[in-house]
Amino acid sequence: MDLAFSPEERAFRDEVREFIATHLPQDIRRKIQAGDHLQKDDYMRWHRILHERGWVAAGWPKEYGGTGWTPVQRHIFHEEIAYGWAPRLMPFGLHMVAPVIIEFGNDAQRARYLPKIASGEEFWCQGYSEPGAGSDLASLSTRAERNGETYLINGTKTWITAAQWADWIFVLARTDPQAKKQEGISFILVDMRTPGVTVRPIETIDGGKEINEVHLENVVVPVENRVGKEGEGWTYAKFLLEHERTGTAGIAGCHQQLETLRELLAQESIDDRRLNERIALVEIELEALAFTELRTLAAESAGKRPGPESSILKIKGTEIQQSLSELALDALGPYAEEHLAPRYFNYRKTSIYAGSNEIQKNIIAKRILKL
């Protein structure tokens, strides 16, 4: 048993840290430090800088431009991004649709989409949830009707982060309405400029405008935009969700939140025993979770696929994120700085998105405890 990072891994960490320190544009770093909303240009400028360095496509096979990193290196990179006050890489193209195209798409699709995802030339968003299909995603009702060499798509997708910036959306749509719920679903790529696609912003309780509803009305899409086999979309969707779950613990982000909180307390000269102990309890849980993440990483490094254990990371990670946003609010009382309350409101989403925490508990009960 060896629970430390290897010298090579430490060297990699230093290299990433150094690169971020010297290459991240100052104005972007300042925005993140101030808790401001980032614009598309902020994300994409940073994306292009990392792309030039060859560091965007973690987890892709090398032949498609992947970084060739081990799971531990991916973890280190992810953490350093947060520690260096850099924007995250938008995951919808890089870490959601790309792995599906690589695994289940054809050569023409790989050649058409992957280079532009990597370069950042095309921005993606995710068309999964619907007004009537959230946790029960397989009950989705968006229809894709086959007419020769095209599909005619009708339906509504919702809670879509960054759809207002997107060039493309990957859509789960029902191609066979007679088939059983999970069957008859296909995975289709839709150009956002296609006639009949409209985006309506949804303002959230924190005043944010990051999520949207996307209406698809008589949208005509060539059949070649379907990834994999017709009716197999559910399999691909599940594959994607498992990719999405890794990294949701957000450990590095929690450490930052914690430090921000401590700075605030120092600034306001707050030294309250009860508050200190409440913070300590969260800090200890965070330490336990960070080590749990390392345990799953070690298992991954030993060749095990990320399994249902990642539900622990989702549940506890989001609970800790929420606790920290709560503590910041409580620490400063009713006159909390203006960005603290919106963050607290905003963070309520964390236990809802990416498979609600209740769904994660179902996964643990069924797949680990075999109940």
Partner 1 sequence: MDFTLSPEQLLIKDSVARFAAGAHAGTDVWPKFAELGWLAIGAPDELGGFGGPLETLLVMEQLGRGLVVSPYVSQVVLAGTILRAAGRSELLGRLVEGEERFAVAYEEPHARYDPAAVTATAAREGDGYAIRGAKVRVLDAATAGTVIVSARTGDEISLFAVPAGAPNLTRAPYAAEDGADVANLRFDGVRVDAQAMLGPLGGGLALLEQGLDHAVAALCAEGLGLMSLMLEATVEYTKQRHQFGVPIGSFQALQHRMAEMFVEVELARSMAYLAAMTLEDRRDDPAARKRGISAAKVQVARSARFVAQNAIQLHGGIGMSEEYKAGHYFKRLTMVERLLGDTDFHLARYVAHRGAKTEAAPLRVAEPAPA
Catalytic residue among 80, 244, 293, 309: 244
Choosing from 150, 182, 260, 356, the residue that interacts with partner 1 (CB under 8 A) is: 260
58 lines the binding site for partner 1 (CB under 8 A): no
Distance separating alpha carbons of residues 196 and 137, to the nearest angstrom: 23
Applying CB under 8 A, among 255, 265, 310, 344 the residue interacting with partner 1 is 255
Angle at 79 between CA 73 and CA 84, to 5 degrees: 120
If binding is defined by CB under 8 A, does position 323 make contact with partner 1? no
Joined tokens for residue 315: 């549940």
Our finding on whether 247 is near partner 1 (CB under 8 A) is yes
Please, what is the minimum distance in Å from the beta carbon of residue 367 to partner 1?
10
Stretch 82-101: interaction string toward partner 1, x if CB under 8 A: xxxx-xx-xxx---------
Per the listing, tokens 């450490």 go with: 255
Q: CA–CA separation, 37 vs 92, rounded Å? A: 18
Collapsing DSSP states into helix, strand and coil, what is residue 88? Answer: coil
Q: Cα 337 from chain centroid? A: 27
User: What is the C-alpha to C-alpha distance for residues 53 and 244, in angstroms, rounded to an integer?
Assistant: 24
Q: What CA–CA distance (Å, rounded) separates 238 from 323?
A: 29
| Binding range to partner 1, per CB under 8 A, among 42-50, 102-110, 193-201, 244-252 | 244-252
Structure tokens at 367: 């797949």
User: Residue 293 catalytic?
Assistant: no
Token output for 158: 């919702």
Give me the least distance between CB of 370 and partner 1, in Å please.
Answer: 8
Interaxial angle between packed helices 251-267 and 71-83, expressed in degrees from 0 to 180 and rounded to the nearest 10: 20
Output 188 or 363, the one with its CB closest to partner 1. Answer: 363
Question: For partner 1, which stretch binds (CB under 8 A), given 109-117, 142-150, 184-192, 251-259?
Answer: 251-259
Q: Does 134 participate in binding partner 1 (rule CB under 8 A)?
A: no
Identify residues 324-363 at the interface with partner 1 (CB under 8 A).
Answer: 343, 346-347, 349-350, 353-354, 358, 360-362
Q: Which of 109, 186, 257, 310 touches partner 1 by CB under 8 A?
A: 257
| 2 lies in the site for partner 1, by CB under 8 A | yes
Site for partner 1 in 296-315 (CB under 8 A): 297-299, 301-302, 309, 311-312, 315
d(CA 232, CA 243): 18
Q: By CB under 8 A, is residue 39 in contact with partner 1? A: no
Interface size with partner 1, residues (CB under 8 A) = 80
Residue 284 lies near partner 1 (rule: CB under 8 A):
yes
Q: For partner 1, which is the closer residue by CB, 77 or 151?
A: 77
Instruction: Say if strands 211-222 and 150-161 run parallel, antiparallel, or are unpaired.
Output: antiparallel
CA distances from 154 to 158, 190, 191, 193 (A): 14, 12, 14, 15
Would you say 256 and 83 are in contact if contact means Cβ atoms under 8 Å apart? Answer: yes
Q: What residues are annotated to the active site?
A: 244
